[in-house]
Amino acid sequence: MITAIGKTKQRALGPSAEKISADKRFKILETHMKRFQFKQDALIEVLHKAQELFGYLDDELLFYIAQNLKLPPGHVYGVTTFYHFFTLKPKGAHICVVCMGTACYVKGAGAILSALEDTLKIKSGDTTPDGQVSLLTARCIGACGVAPAVVYDGAVAPRQTPQDAINRVKGWVEHGA
């Protein structure tokens, strides 16, 4: 009886059947899980794929993964929130990652970050209200030889100054593309 209630609840929280059949990405994700034979230890690989496809991991998606891998939803949520790489919130159209590794730190990454925070009027980890820019920090991207480094939409830029960074994100905000 209790399990039956649990099951109905889970189904209600996961995506509806219509949504799954309408959205091709669920099919791709399912194929990916099949590749790992729906093995529970592939959870992190599956989460990577899901984030790659959907951009972020919302509750509905996490329930869908939990159901398919036959894992308790709490376990999936626990793993997702443990790792920095997974995000539960949608990201902006552009992503700016300031490397805060040791080499970048001693070369002035802190000044770049605060300049960006002032320009965008958001804190690191947040997205501008218009959804244009997400400002993130990284532990170390391994580009220490060209520190301080900033990653703009996936491309690493070497030897940045606060002004370089401001110019880059201003370009995004003003042109809106």
Partner 1 sequence: MVLEDLLRIKEQELAARKKFTFRVCLAAGCVSSNSEAVKAALEKAVKDAGLDTDVEVRGVGCLKLCCGGPLVAVDPLNVVYQKVTPADAPGLVAALNGAQIGVAKVDLSHPFFAKQRNIVLENSGVVDPERIESYIAHDGYRALREVLREMSPADVIAAVTKSGLRGRGGAGYPTGLKWATVAKTKSSRKFVICNADEGDPGAFMDRSVLESDPHRVIEGMIIAAYAVGAEQGYIYVRAEYPLAIKRLQNAIRQARQFGLLGSGIFESPFTFNIEIRIGAGAFVCGEETALIASIEGRRGMPRPRPPYPAEYGLFGHPTLINNVETFANIPPIIRNGPDWFASIGTEKSKGTKVFALAGQVKHTGLIEVPMGITLREIVEEMGGGAPDGKRVKAVQTGGPSGGCVPASEMDTPVDYESLARLGSIMGSGGMIVMDETTRMVDVAAFFIEFCMDESCGKCAPCRAGTLQMHNLLAKIRTGNATAADLRTLEELCEVVKNTSLCGLGQTAPNPILSTLRFFRNEYIALLKSDATDKPANGQDRPDRV
Q: Which residue among 1, 17, 37, 82 contacts partner 1 (CB under 8 A)? A: 82
Rounded to 5 degrees, φ, ψ at 71 are -115, 150
DSSP, collapsed to helix, strand or coil, labels residue 98 as strand
Position 86 contacts partner 1 (CB under 8 A): yes
Altogether, the residues listed in the chain come to a count of 177
Q: With beta carbons less than 8 A apart as the criterion, state whether 131 and 93 touch.
A: yes
CB of 67 to partner 1, least distance (A): 16
Question: Nearest-CA neighbor of 148 among 172, 124, 113?
Answer: 113
CB of 94 to partner 1, least distance (A): 18
CB of 30 to partner 1, least distance (A): 17
Position 148 contacts partner 1 (CB under 8 A): no
Position 95 contacts partner 1 (CB under 8 A): no
From residue 73, alpha-carbon distances to 24, 39, 87 in Å are 23, 15, 16
Position 44 contacts partner 1 (CB under 8 A): yes
Position 17 contacts partner 1 (CB under 8 A): no
Q: Which residue among 120, 147, 165, 169 contacts partner 1 (CB under 8 A)? A: 147
Question: Nearest-CA neighbor of 153 among 131, 168, 174?
Answer: 168
Site of interaction with partner 1 (CB under 8 A): 40-45, 47-48, 75, 78-79, 82-86, 100-103, 105-107, 138-147, 149, 155-158
